[in-house]
Structure formats: C-alpha cells, structure tokens
Amino acid sequence: MKTDASIQKDVLEQFRWEPFLNAAEIGVSVKNGVVTLSGTVDTFGKKIAAENAAKKISGVKAVVEEIHVKIAPGLQKTDAEIAAAVASTLAWHTAVQEEKIKIRVENGTVTLEGVVDWNYQRTAAVNAIRHIAGVRMVSNFITVKPLVTTSDIQQNIKASLQRSSTIDAKKIHVEVIGGKVILNGHVRSFAEMDDAVFAAWASPGVSTVENKLTIGEPELVL
C-alpha cells in the first residue's frame, strides 16, 4: 500500500508532466489517501486539469479541490463577452446540441441548463467552454432525457463493464431506478472508479449516476 508521502510525490510529479499546469501554483497534501489541492490558478481549465491529474495517481481514494481561480488582468472579460464566447463555442461544437442549452453568466460563473439526449452531449458542453478566457466556474444543470427502459439501461451498463479491460465487473453491482443508476461495490483505484462511472453514463437514458463504489478490498468480518 502506498504511503501518503509517496502519493503526494506522485501527484506533484504528474503536475510537472502536464504541460497545461504550473506545479508551483498548486499545493498538495495527503491524509489516508485523500488528496487536498489548494492554491490559485488563472483559468477554470487549470483547476479542472489539476483535479483530473490527481485522480490518475494510484492510491488516491478521493480528491478535495480547494483551488481558487483568479483571472489575470489580461484574461478578464465582461459577463456579456463570456456569454457570447460560450454561445459561439457551443454552436461550433459538433457533439453539442446547442439549440437545447440555455446559458447564464454571472460574475464569471457560467450556468448551463437544458435537456439533451445523451450524457456525452452534457459533458461535451462543459469541456468545450472550460478554457474560455474569463470563466471562473461552470455549473452544469443540463439533464439527460430518458429514451430506454430501466432493464435496457441495466443490461447496457453491465455489458459495458464486462467488456472493459480496466474494470473487474464481478465486484460492481448495478441498480437502476428510472434513469438513475446506483453503483455499489469495490474497485482497485480511482481510475477504475472513473471508468466504471463513465461506463454507466455512456448508456442512453441515464440521467443520474450515484457512485457508492469504494476503493480497496472489503474488510473481512471475523
């Protein structure tokens, strides 16, 4: 089992490996496998990139993200300018149903609302705009319209988990209530957890994924 010091070292090394990040801007502390990120960056994209980089490291059980976004003077934009840039970016993105998405911007925080057919369209909308200058935060309230039955959703997710080379499907239980998916069980790493959650979201008709997976083997009851 990796020590907290080893995890901290690996996270910092991963930050240095990521070309978009400046490791000197981000503080990393680790306690019992839980990584806390702190510091100040100048774009929302860097904030998300740091969180994603930390999740890649083996031994990480959770990430607490306390990074602040302080927009540099040269990147500051008005809410109207940000809204216009968001609308234009979504309109040009082939994976986004921009006509179904409403945009609101207040003090640099972008709120997205609407209903789409697939979760990848919901995710693509956020990924498309997170590097826009002036954006401090993105609140994603886009929902997914159910298109299939509960049984279909469950079977699709189970089949996807079984096909994956990175997931031990036997240790994951899938429950579906309407469009809500509940994942229970145990995974070996944060990366495997992310893969399982992604597999659940990839099924058509999924509106919510409740992740109850835990990292590590279950404790034996004697």
CA distance 182 to 125: 24
Do the two domains 75-144 and 150-215 of this chain adopt the same fold?
A: yes
The answer to whether 104 and 36 have CB atoms below 8 angstroms apart is: no
How is domain 75-144 classified at the architecture level of CATH? 2-Layer Sandwich (3.30)
Q: Per residue of the chain (222 residues), what is the pLDDT tens digit?
A: 789 999 999 999 999 998 889 989 999 999 999 999 999 998 999 999 999 999 999 999 999 999 999 988 888 899 999 999 999 999 999 888 889 999 999 999 999 999 988 888 999 999 999 999 999 999 999 988 766 788 888 999 999 999 998 899 999 999 999 889 999 999 998 889 999 999 999 888 888 899 999 997 655 444
Alpha helices in the chain (DSSP H): 4-17, 44-55, 79-92, 119-129, 150-163, 190-201
pTM score of the predicted model:
0.64
Q: How many residues does the chain have?
A: 222
CB atoms within 10 A of CB 64: 13
CATH number of 4-69: 3.30.1340.30
The CA distance from 124 to 103, in Å, is 15
Give the tokens for residue 49: 């990139």
Where do the structural domains in the chain lie, given as residue ranges?
Answer: 4-69, 75-144, 150-215
